[in-house]
Structure 1
Amino acid sequence: MASHHGVAALLITSLLVAVTLADARPPLTMHHNKLGGYAVADTARRQPPELVCTKIYGVQQRHETCFALAQAGELSLEQFFSFNPNINCQKLFIGQWICLSTDFGA
């Protein structure tokens, strides 16, 4: 019975990896020429505008939270997470830089 659990776990993991890789592929665009149509990967994905942080804060206490930092910066949580997209709120550390205000870069 234990081997069935291992096979099921391996199958689920494989499916998750396949779905992740499929989502990561660039979209295909069909180009036509005199020889007929062919598919080419569209590498010109639109990039979001670059954020330039204009106000930063260094975490100073061990138990500071993302919610408290957002409130201190007078930000909604949605704004806070858009300014700090890779933040792990469960693992904030003293000295970690947090962005509290941004300007869109060129």
Structure 2
Amino acid sequence: MAKANNKMATTLNLILVLSLVLMISIAESRQLGTVGFGEKGDVVCESVYGAEEGDTCESVIQKFKLTSDSFLSINPNLNCDNFFVGQWLCTEGTVN
């Protein structure tokens, strides 16, 4: 009987240690920014603008004196035919 309890305690301790190691590794990777941060092609936005009623891609480009290529490169998922009031648009930034 004591042998079974000892085996069960060892198994539970092993599960506990593995869980702790997993939690620490996840926390460390998030803290160090190694998960999805700073990868090639990521946009680093330094200034944003909340779209207003009547804004178009062209009007925002003109308002902030940008080129079309630079505006679209720092807003890679923007649909110029359908963005909404209050949508954050990057107006100054870089692409890694």
TM-score (norm 1): 0.49
Match of 2:51 in 1: 59
More strand as a share of residues:
1
Check the 8 A contact 2:75/2:90 in 1, yes or no: yes
Extract unaligned runs of 5+ from structure 2.
Answer: 1-38
Provide Cα deviations, 1:11-59, integer angstroms capped at 9, x if missing partner: xxxxxxxxxxxxxxxxxxxxxxxxxxxxxxxxxxxx6342210010001
Q: How many residues align?
A: 58
How high is the sequence identity, in percent, across the aligned residues? 34
1:92 CA drift (Å) = 1.4
1:84 CA drift (Å) = 0.5
Please give the alpha-carbon distance, in whole angstroms, between the structure 2 residues aligned to 1:59 and 1:100: 11
Counterpart selection for 1:100 from 88, 91, 94: 91
TM-score (norm 2): 0.54
Please give the alpha-carbon distance, in whole angstroms, between the structure 2 residues aligned to 1:79 and 1:104: 10
Which one scores higher on RCO, CA 8 angstroms, separation ≥ 6? 2
Match of 2:77 in 1: 86
Check the 8 A contact 2:74/2:95 in 1, yes or no: no
Match of 2:4 in 1: none
More helix as a share of residues:
2
Q: Which structure 2 residues correspond to residues 8-87 of structure 1 after superposition, within 5 A?
A: 48-61=40-53, 63-87=54-78
Please give the alpha-carbon distance, in whole angstroms, between the structure 2 residues aligned to 1:73 and 1:81: 13
SS at match of 1:90: coil
* CA pair 103-89 structure 1, distance change in 2 beyond 3 A: closer
Provide Cα deviations, 1:41-84, integer angstroms capped at 9, x if missing partner: xxxxxx634221001000111x2110110111111001010011
Please give the alpha-carbon distance, in whole angstroms, between the structure 1 residues aligned to 2:42 and 2:78: 17
Match of 1:19 in 2: none
